[in-house]
Amino acid sequence: MSNRIYLFKVFERIWHWSQATLIILLLITGFEVHGSYQILGFETAVNTHTTLAWTLVGLWLFAIFWHFTTGEWKQYIPTLQKVDAMAKYYLFGIFTDAPHPFKATTLKKHNPLQRLAYLFILVFVGPLIWFTGWFYIFYDNWIEWGWDKYLNLEWVATFHTLAAFMMLIFLIVHVYLTTTGHTPLAHIKAMITGWEEED
Amino acid sequence: MSLAKLVRVLAVTAGMVLAANAAQANTDPAPAAPAEKKASTSTADHSKFKELQENFATGPDVTKACLKCHTEAAKQIMHTKHWTWEYLNPQTNQLLGKKHIINNFCTSISSNQEFCTACHIGYGWKDDKFDFSNQDNVDCLVCHDTTGTYRKLPGYAGHPPYKDTEAPAGSGFIVKAVDLKAVAQGVGKTSRKTCGSCHFLGGGGDAVKHGDLDTTLTNPSKYLDVHMAKDGLNFTCATCHETDGHNVPGSRYTPVADDTTPHIRGKKNADPETCQSCHTAAPHKHNARLNTHAVVIACQTCHIPEFARGQPTKMSWDWSTAGKLDKDGKPIRIKDSSGHHDSYDSRKGNFRYESNVIPEYIWFNGKVEYTLRETKLDPTKVVKINTLEGSPTDGKSKIWPIKRFTGKQPYDVGNNQLVVFHTYGKDDSALWTNFNWDKALEYGMKEIGAQYSGKYAFVETEYSWPTTHMVAPKGDALTCAQCHQPSIGVGRLDKVPGIYMPGRRANALLNTAGWAIAALCLLGVLVHGAGRIYASRKGAHK
Amino acid sequence: MLKAVVGFVVGILVVAAGGFMAMPHLMFNETASPFGFEETIARIQHNIADNPVLQEKGWALSGLRNPAKAVQNDGGNVLPVQMIEVCSTKYSGPILKEDTVRFLSILMPCKISIYKKQDGKVYIGTMNAGLMGKFFGPLVGETMGHVAEDQKLFLHFDPNTPAPQIILPAAPAAGGGAGGGGGGC
């Protein structure tokens, strides 16, 4: 137990946890609208989902602004360096207590696999979910705006669901991988306090 | 008894006495109730007209008197379906109207006019020699009676009873002779009762045919009809079916499925009877999503959640079992469980009634094709008396609720065509007289001059009725969940093709793949985690 | 040791939660009727009124209640629902005489509910008298056990008999759903 580094700033942590809460609630309400189960009732689920979505939009506006003003966006520039090492580590090294091939620094908070995963979420899942979501939200205006000629609710809904499944899968894996720090709760602590302890 | 208790008892007693007095006071003016009837605002009091001071002997005599002042009335009437019972559908070129179509209720008026024309707005149509051009034959009273005493009985070719008459014959019920003078002097606007005297009884009895029109609409409560409620808006039929020159808008042959040029009342080129003509095409002020629904869903679909909410309507009619007699050779009638309707009648066969029926839903664009008597049919399939055209993609259709009425009726085996049969008559060929199908069919087919092979069998038929009356209060409209998330597992629009309905129409492949991959990932991380725990324990051992 | 205690407590909580959730389904039964709405009512009524075994046990129809009427009078719509009320003084009498369980009069008369649901089908709802009775001591338990046995006969249909007619209560319902209740209990 030696170094502590201040990895996550206050805004970043608030952003992360409120985003996590919103995404989980969006998944819960979204899959209800999708027809997977019944919890809130369809109408309430739709209304809640819409409200949560707008809240997340607001949060993202702040987040985007923050990322660009602080230059933190660079954290997501992809790299293939050490990707193979990371994969090897998760497949083998982790079981034999091998050293983690990546050391987090304030300039490189995310390991290469994380970078790729987050980038995939940012450039693919995110836009997919946002665009289909907005099409969905503005369904009432399609005719007025002439969108009905190019869009089809079934496809909008299907791609929105596809993105939701990806988000769900990301969530499962992401939550699990947070336990792969030097202690199972190390990463989670870091995301709460901002300080990452290194051994 | 304590003092306090005594005081309480006295107070309560006093209160009861006061309340009783108040109730008395409220009921006292009862004799003056007739004065509540809204005074007519008409500028004419027909009881003062010298033309109407006669003791009229017959209906046509009254008509002559009416026409002395209302010189154009009969001419106007003669252009309407109410008079001609004939309609050439410009969309399909089919000649329709009661005069021509064969349905699966009483089937056909041909050879039975004397009976059926109790609902014709004329006098004397007893066979195909009726003079449609004689103005005196027009019956003004059946629509304009306000006394509620004018009545036409089946079997008298549209004439009201001029003397006390037992109806139905042998029943012991006496229908009083109509006082034509009183009725003529009391004429006024049409009412729910006058329109209903035929339209509520379509198909041979109360509530039989439509499911959304029956005598409960004469004085409806709010739950039944939010527009016509007697203690609410109190609409008459003509409030929506705003009549111009005796031509009543609205048609079952060419319904308006999607009023794309709605207007707020006043413009003459539009259909005044559609919902949109008052409510516009975007009636939900605070919910744009519902207006979007209304682009493809008829108002009726959500706002008439069930039909036959006032009383049961007939859902099926099987003519094939007609003619069973008891051991004395007498026709029989068997009541159904409700005690109000027949489940069997020797004259008509078997019936099934149902109340609060959940409609079927279809795409409908307003075009209706009939199976006419001339139409060749396929007896191995259910014959559609009418086919409501529509599709999710034609841009003209909306999702409509319908009553689907099923039946079994005779057809000509040799020619594969529907047949006309002689139901009623004072001869020995009528089905209701001697219960002999062969005779009834031969007579009926001869009467219309149609070819008949001499062999008949029964074919299954169905008739679709777009539901449009008996609009429920808005609180009773379908909820989102009734289509999108039905708790009972059967959604209202589950069978309607061509729509994506969130909650009901998920892509099955994506669903399976999505949940499977998510489950595999979960399993994967669990196994991975278990592996780490196992490895760390082993490591600790070392 | 701690783990065992925790596990035990968690186990109990899980079972309790499960039981709580299952309770409504245990207390009441619902079955789909093979008949239409009116016919279901009529058949159940006649199952009761025409069965000498049940008459022997004192069963008599005591009312037909229409809770939908009150909703209609208030200007609203609900799908049809009617409750057949039926009572046997042979069973109700002893319970009504016993002060400790007289409050169970709120379960009287015995009711069978017939209603239509959104799938257009007709359903029959009954109380699980056998199970309910077990909560209230031997007298009630035994009585309700008999009631449960007899209730099975109420719902034993013979589709080969022709549909009978509904037996309307002697005094017709005076609106507000407060009809029936002619006699019996």
**Contact criterion met (CB < 8 Å) for A97 and B536:** yes
How far is Cα of residue B156 from the mean position of the Cα atoms in its chain? Answer: 25
Q: Please, which contacts does B433-436 make with residues 24 or more away whose CB atoms are closer than 8 Å?
A: B435/B322, B435/B323, B435/B325, B435/B331, B435/B346, B435/B347, B436/B323
d(CA A180, CA A184): 6
Say yes or no to pLDDT of B317 above 90. yes
Would you state the pLDDT for residue A66?
A: 87
Would you state the pLDDT for residue C175?
A: 40
- The reported pTM is 0.88
Q: Are A46 and B480 in contact (CB under 8 A)?
A: yes
- Assigned domain for B478 exists: yes
Confidence of residue A68 (pLDDT cuts 50, 70, 90): confident
Listed range (A29-43, B22-36, B234-248) with the worst mean pLDDT: B22-36
Our answer on whether A and B touch (3+ beta-carbon pairs < 8 Å) is yes
Would you state the pLDDT for residue A121?
A: 87
Chain B residue with Cα closest to C37: B354
- Structural domain including B352 reads 313-484
Say yes or no to pLDDT of A47 above 90. yes
Say yes or no to pLDDT of A168 above 60. yes
Q: Are B151 and B161 in contact (CB under 8 A)?
A: yes
SS (H, E, C) A72-122: HHHHHCCCCCCHHHHHHHHHCHHHHCCCCCCCCCCCCCCCHHHHHHHHHHH
Say yes or no to pLDDT of C183 above 50. no
Would you state the pLDDT for residue B229?
A: 95
| B229-234 mean pLDDT | 93
Distance from CA of B93 to the nearest CA of C (A): 38
- Assigned domain for B410 exists: yes
d(CA A198, CA A186): 9
Would you state the pLDDT for residue B35?
A: 40
SS3 B194: helix
Would you state the pLDDT for residue C33?
A: 96
Bridge partners of B333, per DSSP, are B345
Say yes or no to pLDDT of B33 above 60. no
Confidence of residue B538 (pLDDT cuts 50, 70, 90): confident
Say yes or no to pLDDT of C25 above 60. yes
Q: List the chains bordering chain B where 3 or more Cβ pairs fall under 8 Å.
A: A, C
Q: What is the pLDDT of residues B126-141, one digit of tens each?
A: 998 999 999 999 999 9
d(CA A135, CA B148): 58
Could you count the other beta carbons within 10 Å of the beta carbon of residue B119? Answer: 19
What is each CA distance from B181 to B45, B184, B495, in whole angstroms? Answer: 14, 5, 56
| A19-42 mean pLDDT | 95
**Contact criterion met (CB < 8 Å) for C165 and B339:** yes
Q: How many domains does chain B have?
A: 1
Which member of B222, B309, B486 has the closest CB to residue C75?
Answer: B222
- Assigned domain for B259 exists: no
Chain B residue with Cα closest to A31: B503
Confidence of residue C178 (pLDDT cuts 50, 70, 90): very low
- Assigned domain for B471 exists: yes
- Assigned domain for B380 exists: yes
Would you state the pLDDT for residue A9?
A: 81
Query: Which position has the higher pLDDT, B467 or C25?
Result: B467
Chain C residue with Cα closest to B494: C119
Query: Which position has the higher pLDDT, B347 or B9?
Result: B347
Say yes or no to pLDDT of A78 above 80. no
Would you state the pLDDT for residue A189?
A: 85
Bridge partners of B78, per DSSP, are none
Would you state the pLDDT for residue A2?
A: 54
- Assigned domain for B411 exists: yes
Would you state the pLDDT for residue B264?
A: 62
Distance from CA of B422 to the nearest CA of C (A): 31
**Contact criterion met (CB < 8 Å) for C164 and B338:** no
Say yes or no to pLDDT of A1 above 60. no
Q: Are B519 and A172 in contact (CB under 8 A)?
A: no
- Assigned domain for B105 exists: no
Highest average pLDDT, of A123-127, C78-82, C168-172, comes from C78-82
Q: Which secondary structure element, helix H or strand E, spans residue C110, and what is its range?
A: strand C110-116
Q: What is the pLDDT of residues A83-130, one digit of tens each?
A: 787 788 888 877 777 777 777 777 677 777 887 888 888 889 989 999
| B346-355 mean pLDDT | 96
Confidence of residue B6 (pLDDT cuts 50, 70, 90): very low
> In chain A, what percentage of residues exceed pLDDT 90?
46
Chain B residue with Cα closest to C80: B356
> In chain B, what percentage of residues exceed pLDDT 90?
80
Question: Which chain B residues touch A125 with a CB distance below 8 Å?
Answer: none
Contacts of A168 by beta carbon, 8 Å cutoff, 6+ apart: A27, B514, B518
Would you state the pLDDT for residue A102?
A: 75
d(CA B22, CA C59): 44
Q: What is the pLDDT of residues C83-132, one digit of tens each?
A: 999 999 999 999 999 899 999 999 889 999 999 999 999 999 999 888 88
Q: Which residues of A touch B (CB under 8 A)?
A: 32-35, 38, 41-43, 46, 90, 94-97, 139-140, 143, 152-154, 157-158, 161-162, 165, 168-169, 172-173, 176, 179-180
Question: Which chain A residues touch B531 with a CB distance below 8 Å?
Answer: 95
Say yes or no to pLDDT of B470 above 60. yes
Homologous superfamily (CATH) for C28-185: TT1751-like domain (3.30.310.70)
Would you state the pLDDT for residue C92?
A: 92
- Assigned domain for B328 exists: yes
d(CA B425, CA B112): 7
Say yes or no to pLDDT of A138 above 60. yes
Question: Which chain C residues touch B343 with a CB distance below 8 Å?
Answer: 163
Instruction: Estimate the crossing angle of helix A42-70 against helix A126-137, to 10 degrees.
Output: 130
Q: Identity (one letter) of the amino acid at B535? A: A
Say yes or no to pLDDT of B367 above 80. yes
Beta-carbon pairs below 8 A across chains B and C = 72
Q: Are C167 and C49 in contact (CB under 8 A)?
A: yes
Query: Which position has the higher pLDDT, A86 or B60?
Result: B60
Q: Are B143 and B195 in contact (CB under 8 A)?
A: yes
